[in-house]
Structure formats: structure tokens, C-alpha cells
Chains A and B, each alone.
Chain A
Amino acid sequence: DAGVTQSPTHLIKTRGQQVTLRCSPKSGHDTVSWYQQALGQGPQFIFQYYEEEERQRGNFPDRFSGHQFPNYSSELNVNALLLGDSALYLCASSLEGGPNSPLHFGNGTRLTVT
């Protein structure tokens, strides 16, 4: 039973560029959340997707956008990269409708902006 998988594992981009990160949820899960984790900090909620729509959003600018596909996989897009966007980006999946459904996290994509 595959867990949450993310790609790529590492990425180096230049300021101003755009980046796309990908996530496949755990088998049987239908909801995907994205988190940003800066060094030494806890993960910060970016947004969540369910039924191919953004359902909730944290305090992140519009440069951060996402998409969920019919197979429940998801992408996170970040435009006009800033040095401060350097972080570990985590994808988490869960099952909507499961009253006690905990989040299952992938191991993240390490993004470095130079």
C-alpha cells in the first residue's frame, strides 16, 4: 500500500522563476493538503484540495496555486519565486468523510531558491 509520494525530492530554482511540485496521495485518500516548512519551524498550511477544488487556504499569496486531478493527485505551483520561498514543501493526504482521518504526509520536496 503506497503512502504519499512527492516529486521531485530536491529542486533548485532562481529568483523569479516558476516551479511545480507534484503529489500522489495515499491509496484510498481523496483529499490533499499542502504545507510549507521553513528550517526550524513547524509546517504552515498553504491550502487543501477536495473534489478538484481548493477548499481551504492559509495565509499565502496568490503566487501559490494548486490543482487536483480526477485521480486525486495534486500539484503545487509557485510563481515569481522569492528567496524566502526556500523551504520543505509537504503534501498530506486524508480521507474525506472519515471522522477521525489523520493526515498522512509525504517526505516533501526541498526547494532552494537562489
Chain B
Amino acid sequence: LAKTTQPISMDSYEGQEVNITCSHNNIATNDYITWYQQFPSQGPRFIIQGYKTKVTNEVASLFIPADRKSSTLSLPRVSLSDTAVYYCLVGDMRSGGGNKLTFGTGTQLKVEL
């Protein structure tokens, strides 16, 4: 399973763009990159998933360079409610891959006024 490394914590202010980078040097060919958000005493919530280049949805963008050894989650114009732990996961999402995702300790994002 590919190991991921991400910053332990980040601070930002409301209205700013936040970029959280994750390193996954030993990512395998069939691995996808998935980001989750978790608030205290709640389960992780799916944010975005990608395989290569750029993926965008209504809440975030995910940038993946050609070598796929890292990825960057971009949160545009954060608000106080974005204060949470963000997890970067790498795993084989194919049928039979088992979705046995490995969570690290995540990045604690704190957004202030």
C-alpha cells in the first residue's frame, strides 16, 4: 500500500485559497488518490478523487502531476466551517481492489476570521 505524507497542520483565514499537498512516492499504476474531510466525532466525508491531471467538483480541485508522486487538494475561498482534518489516501479502487484504504494522521486545517 502506498504510504502518504502530508503536513500535520495548516492555518488560514476566511476567503483565502488553501492548498494541501500530499506525497505518495510509491504510488502504484492502479492506485487512485482520494481526499476525505473529517469533523470531530463524525465519519470522514468524501471530497474528491482523481487518477491524473486535474479534477474539479463543486467543493474542491485536485491537481496531480504527470509522475503522480504527489497531489494537491485546493480549497477555494475557505470559511470557518472548513476547519477540519483532511486525509489524503492512495489505493486501488478497482473492483476486487477491496477499497482497503490506509489513512495517515491527516492535516488539521484551522480557518480563522
Contacts and interface: CB of A to CB of B under 8 A. Distances in A.
A55 interface: yes
Contact of A107 (B43, B95, B100, B105): B43
Q: Is the interface of B mostly helix, strand, loop or mixed?
A: loop
Interface in B71-113: 87, 93-96, 98-106
A110 B42 CA distance: 10
B46 A102 contact: yes
Interface size class of A (residues with CB under 8 A): 20 to 34
B61 interface: no
Contacts of B93: 99-102
Interface stretch (A36-44, A60-68, A75-83): A36-44
B28 to A, nearest CB: 15
Interface of A: 4, 31, 33, 35, 40-45, 48, 55-56, 58, 88, 90, 92, 94, 96-108, 110
